[in-house]
Amino acid sequence: METFIGVLIILLVFVILLSLWAYGTLLKKALGKSKWNALLLLIPLVNLGVIIDWGVEAGKIAKNAYQEKAPNWFLPVIIIAYTLWSIILLIVDPYILLYWLISQAVLLLFDYWSTIRLLTAACGVPSIYLWALPLPGVGAALPVYYAFKAHDEMKGYTRQLIYQAGDNTEIVYEKAFIHKPLALILALITGMLIAMVNIGALANPEETSDVTVEGVVLDKLTNAPISNATITCLQDSTILDKATTDEEGKFTMTNIPKDATLRITAQDYESAEFLVPTKSDNTLWEFKLSKTPEATAEIIAKSFLHGVYEDIYPYLEPDIQQQYSRDTYVESFRNLHNVVLKMAASGDILENMRITELNRVSEDEVRVLATITIRSFKTGHTATLPATFTLTRAKDGTWRSNWPVPSASD
């Protein structure tokens, strides 16, 4: 009998030490190097109900997380030791159910406080992505709880946390902390926080700190600087800062979060949004805007009226630019290869061209209606001719015209 009791005591001590060592190792990796974090392990050690669910759900995730670092016996020994320890506690203490309920309440509070504090302090509302290489941007966003379960279709994928601000705060919190909370509690300790450590290796402190953005706003077609453009720094629809470009189109913004967005607006240009540059190395970043259809049509009309055809050329459709080089295009008009200009050469003058109407045919096509006024030197009378051309949105987002095109004959 005494031998049996001695063996039982030795087994009990072994199970306790093994459990503390195993969970201490996991928690230490998850929460840092502080030894005091291991005391948190005393709470889940009394939880018999969690081990059943965790062994099926989070256990697979823990194995996947450590399959290249831990020996094969690591996870089974942890589960067996934890189960034996829970059974022993249940036999010794009939009030273990009360401790279990208390431990769940404490763990839920710790779970919510630590996770929300760490994630929101880092970059805002957390979302979890599952992806193979390459990294962020290719994987589909999934509910948080999905990442804590083993799925056949996830083989070969790396589970990591990507911080992405969004408007679905309540949805993310609901998915993370209400669905199967018992499995999630220990999954958070052995999975989510470890994933934070892993992602920390990818995102060093420099990458997560605020940056200074020195930029220049340019016309996308002509590369001309755009003065008086307004740059608005946004984070979760909240305006953090504003700046205005100088005469050279340049601006500077300091203390800009790396997960913020820059919205740039300017007169006669379509507004655009840009991600904050990820490198802070004193580079002058270029931000390019496209002119609106209205501004594009006015440039074409004004340039045609004054015979500045080189200013029209950048706004021509790519097919026309392939047919004519810039010099050939300009020379064709100056050699009177245009019907309207032939009229001017015969004694008439091109007096005015006015845009009268723009009709949007589709999102990427605008029909432009204009009038051309010609005055006769001989009689002084004027004649008004209609002109119609089309603007289409090119692949680079700029608006291009199919007119004017030199006549094929002299």
Q: Considering the entire predicted model, what is its pTM?
A: 0.50
Among left, alpha and beta (phi > 0; psi -120 to 50; other), residue 397 is: left
Residue 242 has pLDDT above 90, yes or no: yes
Largest CA distance in the chain: 132
H or E segment to which residue 94 belongs: none
Q: Report the alpha-carbon distance of residue 354 to residue 370 in Å, rounded.
A: 5
pLDDT in tens, 183-230: 344 444 444 433 333 333 333 334 446 788 899 999 999 999 999 999
Greater model confidence, 114 or 358: 358
CATH class of 293-401: alpha beta
Structure tokens at 35: 């030894």
Among left, alpha and beta (phi > 0; psi -120 to 50; other), residue 137 is: left
pLDDT in tens, 85-103: 666 655 554 444 445 555 5
Within 10 angstroms of residue 54's Cβ, the number of other Cβ atoms is 25
Domain with CATH 3.10.450.100 in the chain: 293-401
Q: How far apart are the first and last CA of the chain?
A: 119
Domain with CATH 2.60.40.10 in the chain: 209-289
Confidence of residue 390 (pLDDT cuts 50, 70, 90): very high
Residue type, 265: T
3-state secondary structure of 407: coil
pLDDT score at 237: 83
CATH of 209-289, one of 2.60.40.10, 2.50.20.10, 1.20.200.10, 3.40.1390.20: 2.60.40.10
Question: Residue for token digits 């763990």?
Answer: 107
Q: Report the alpha-carbon distance of residue 180 to residue 276 in Å, rounded.
A: 37
pLDDT in tens, 22-74: 555 555 554 554 555 445 445 445 444 444 444 444 454 444 444 445 455 65
pLDDT score at 393: 93
Q: Report the alpha-carbon distance of residue 175 to residue 322 in Å, rounded.
A: 54
pLDDT score at 174: 36
Of 146, 138, 136, which is closest to residue 203 (Cα–Cα)? 136
Within 10 angstroms of residue 7's Cβ, the number of other Cβ atoms is 10
pLDDT score at 104: 52
Greater model confidence, 130 or 243: 243
The answer to whether the peptide bond before residue 277 is cis (omega within 30 degrees of 0) is: no
